[in-house]
Amino acid sequence: MKFDFSDYALGAGVATDLVNTSPSVRSAGEVLADPAALATFLAEHGLHPDALADGRGPTQGDLDQVRALRQEIRALLETPAEEDVVDAAAGLVARAGLGPSLFRDGEGRWQWCVAARPEASLADELAVLTGVGLLGALRTLSHGRFRHCAADGCQGMFVDTSKAGKRRYCMPEVCGNRRNVANHRARRSRNSPDTTRSVSS
Ligand SMILES: [Zn+2]
């Protein structure tokens, strides 16, 4: 696969979603429970790694390596110093990255890209993808877009690549709803006139 520098949201999104498949984030347990679950994860993100180009599915070895990569990305997202984040993300790219070079996009314009070495493993291809995405997000947006989920008790993290930059949850459809329900209950239980005034003002 080759990865477009300008499409950093893809790699940053895969990094986010991969980190949040972990049993340390999901109360229901490991999302990547077996190689078939990894194949589903790749399909859901529209990824077609060269390592699986011959139609073979991910192996248990691929799964183990992707879980290890997940831990590395998690550590990267938690790293406080920007320089260290850049070093770690560049290390992911260097694992199997070639280039940079140029390729023509769908409209014939030249775009910067990094390709993965043809013999790269599935996990190394994903390392290049996420490394490019995280570097692009940091450069184009800021390190402040690498955040912890705001939902109480959620261990999730995410990279906010939205235009407004106001994302608060690792999985908005899950954690955002949980938060809304909690806030609603808190408002109902806090039924004093002072609270009512401050909320309505
Ligand atoms: Zn969350």
Distance 156 CA to ligand 1 centre (A): 5
Protein residues with C-beta less than 5 angstroms from the ion ligand 1: 149, 151, 154, 156, 169-170, 175
Reported as a single tens digit per residue, the pLDDT across 129-166 is: 999 999 999 999 999 999 999 999 999 999 999 999 99
Question: For residues 7 and 143, is the Cβ–Cβ distance under 8 A?
Answer: no
**Helix boundaries (H) for the chain:** 8-19, 35-44, 60-78, 82-94, 122-140, 177-189, 193-200
What is the phi/psi pair of residue 69, to 5°? -60, -40
pLDDT of 199 over the 70 cut: no
Decide if 47 contacts 62 (C-beta within 8 A). no
DSSP 191: -
pLDDT for 189 equals: 72
| Residue 192: predicted pLDDT | 53
64-68, 155-159, 175-179, range with the lowest pLDDT: 175-179
Asked whether 178 and 153 are in contact (CB, 8 A), the reply is no
User: Given a cut of 90, is residue 98 above it in pLDDT?
Assistant: yes
Q: Whole-number mean pLDDT of the chain?
A: 92
- What is the architecture of the domain spanning 2-200? Orthogonal Bundle (1.10)
What's the pLDDT score for residue 184?
Answer: 65
Which backbone phi and psi does 136 adopt, to 5 degrees? -65, -40
| Annotated domain spans of the chain | 2-200
Please say if the pLDDT value at position 115 is more than 60. Answer: yes
Distance from residue 103's CA to the centre of ligand 1 (Å): 36
- Residue 33 above 70 pLDDT? yes
Q: What is the pLDDT of residue 196?
A: 43
